[in-house]
Amino acid sequence: MSDRYVVIGGAGAMGQITVKDLVETCPPADQVVIADYNLDKASQLAASLGGNRVQPLLIDINNVTATAAALEGALVVINTAPYAFNLAVMEAALLAQAHYIDLGGLFHTTRQQLALHDRFQAINRTALLGMGAAPGISNVLARYAADQLEQVQEIHLRVAGVDRTRYDVEPALSVSYSLKTILEEFSFPPAVFTQGEFQFIDQMSGAKPLKFPPPVGVRSPMYTLHSEVATLPLSFADQGVQEVSFKIAFDPDFTAKVKFLRDLGFASSQPIPVAGGQVAPIEVANYLAMHQPTPQAVGKLKQYEVIRAIVKGKKSGKKITWIVDCHTPGMPEWGIGLDIDTGAPPAIAAQMLARGEITQTGTLPPEVAVPPEPFFQQLARRQMTIKSRQKKGWQVET
């Protein structure tokens, strides 16, 4: 019996990685559908992967009814489109009675998506929210650490990486996923969960040096708005969690450029009059960034990323801190760098659903639905390794 996977936005930057992963790792009889508004690009990608098992499909996710019809027969719908479309794609998945996976909802959309829990449960399907790198891997790292503890006090997620690869073309602004989402991360007040309550703090605040394993080294992650903070406090409420935070360290030059664009007004979604028309600055910035020449590596890829969960709690009355890291060097044999840790997890989760390794139904975050050990085994197939250690006490830098 074969399974059918539909990747919404499958011709996009992250969608292409998800499609590649499915083609490389699914049983040969399974079908992979590249559903995109750009049929030419989807067709070219399908042709490059070869065989009849990969099919292109023209789709307009603004039309929920038509999208649902196109999803007919899908076991899992993987949504790699921008998070603004999450709710629409979920509605289509409900109509098609398919499992659903996305890459995250930037906190506020995730909270709206959680409200669809009963509807997915009623059709015995799973909607997995935020199954990329962060959110996604980060959530499962936190779950793994929390499972080692009886009581959880704090969960802090940190991400940092390096790219020392030489490229034939240096883009003006190197982006691997939507600049629109990045600009919003830099512009919206970040959420934190502190002293048992949600709060919103200053954008790009909290940067301080933190030592990561080599070759990443010392980086200074800052607070940005992220989906992990929307779900982890709820998922570990019974274990008493009081503090949850997320920080990410971008390259300093990249951070300065994005901040400049934000401060200049390019993070605004409010249309402005230009040459007799109306245009939103953030759409212009995103279009230009995503249409830069694609740089090609000269020599070997030299990229590395670490996703870290720092979880403080108690076991047998003793204070303990677990530090769990996911190391990502990329997948050169697939022609993919660090973005493998964002594009591969939804493909992994989709196949875990197909194999019955994810059993809970409803609308769920990764830390609730995804069992860590089999997930980590699949990460290892993509050259991502998990390293964990515990320390006495809570005096660990976050």
The pLDDT of residue 298: 86
Does the pLDDT of residue 118 top 90, yes or no? yes
159, 331 contact by CB (below 8 A) = no
Q: Is 8 helix (H, G, I), strand (E, B) or coil?
A: strand
pLDDT mean over 388-398: 96
pLDDT mean over 15-22: 97
Does the pLDDT of residue 177 top 80, yes or no? no
Does the pLDDT of residue 272 top 80, yes or no? yes
Both tokens of 124, joined, read: 């015995």
Query: Residue 319 CB: number of other CB atoms within 10 A?
Result: 15
What digits encode the pLDDT tens for the residues 25-65? 999 999 999 999 999 999 999 999 977 899 999 999 999 99
| Residue 373 pLDDT level (bands cut at 50, 70, 90) | very high
pLDDT mean over 255-282: 94
The pLDDT of residue 176: 76
Q: CA–CA distance from 239 to each of 116, 152, 174, 314, 325 (Å)? A: 25, 5, 41, 10, 22
Give the Cα separation of 219 and 161 in Å (integer).
8
Does the pLDDT of residue 375 top 90, yes or no? yes
Percent of the chain exceeding pLDDT 70 equals 100
Does the pLDDT of residue 219 top 80, yes or no? yes
Parallel/antiparallel/unpaired status of strands 99-102 and 126-128: parallel
What digits encode the pLDDT tens for the residues 350-372? 999 999 999 999 999 999 999 99
Give the Cα separation of 186 and 255 in Å (integer).
9
Does the pLDDT of residue 396 top 90, yes or no? yes
The pLDDT of residue 169: 84
Topology (CATH level 3) of domain 137-330+385-392: Dihydrodipicolinate Reductase; domain 2 (3.30.360)
The pLDDT of residue 50: 79
Is the CA virtual torsion 117, 123, 128, 129 positive or negative? negative
257, 175 contact by CB (below 8 A) = no
Scanning the structure block, which residue is given the tokens 């307009």?
A: 60
364, 322 contact by CB (below 8 A) = no
pLDDT mean over 175-202: 94
Domain 4-131+340-379, architecture per CATH:
3-Layer(aba) Sandwich (3.40)
The pLDDT of residue 293: 85
The pLDDT of residue 335: 87
Does the pLDDT of residue 229 top 90, yes or no? yes
What digits encode the pLDDT tens for the residues 66-104? 999 999 999 999 999 999 999 999 999 999 999 999 999
Which residues lie below 8 Å from residue 337, measured CB to CB, with a gap of 6+?
163, 165, 297, 301, 303, 330, 331
Kindly write down the DSSP assignment for every residue of 292-318, as one continuous string. SPPP-EESS--EEEEEEEEEEEEETTE
The pLDDT of residue 296: 83
Q: Which residues pair with 89 in a beta bridge?
A: none
Q: Is 173 helix (H, G, I), strand (E, B) or coil?
A: coil
Q: Which of 7-11, 111-115, 179-183, 191-195 has the lowest mean pLDDT?
A: 179-183
* Residue/partner pairs of 22-26 with CB below 8 Å, 24 or more apart: 22/347, 22/350, 22/351, 23/49, 23/53, 23/54, 24/334, 25/347, 25/351, 25/381, 26/351
Parallel/antiparallel/unpaired status of strands 243-249 and 151-163: parallel
Q: Which of 101-115, 174-188, 345-359 has the lowest mean pLDDT?
A: 174-188
Stated length of the chain: 398
Q: Is 55 helix (H, G, I), strand (E, B) or coil?
A: strand
Query: Residue 170 CB: number of other CB atoms within 10 A?
Result: 10
What digits encode the pLDDT tens for the residues 1-14? 799 999 999 999 99
| Domain positions in the chain | 4-131+340-379, 137-330+385-392
Does the pLDDT of residue 174 top 90, yes or no? no
Quote the pTM value: 0.96
The pLDDT of residue 390: 96
pLDDT mean over 227-239: 98
Kindly write down the DSSP assignment for every residue of 247-298, as one continuous string. EEE--HHHHHHHHHHIIIIIT--S-EEETTEEE-HHHHHHHHHHTSPPP-EE
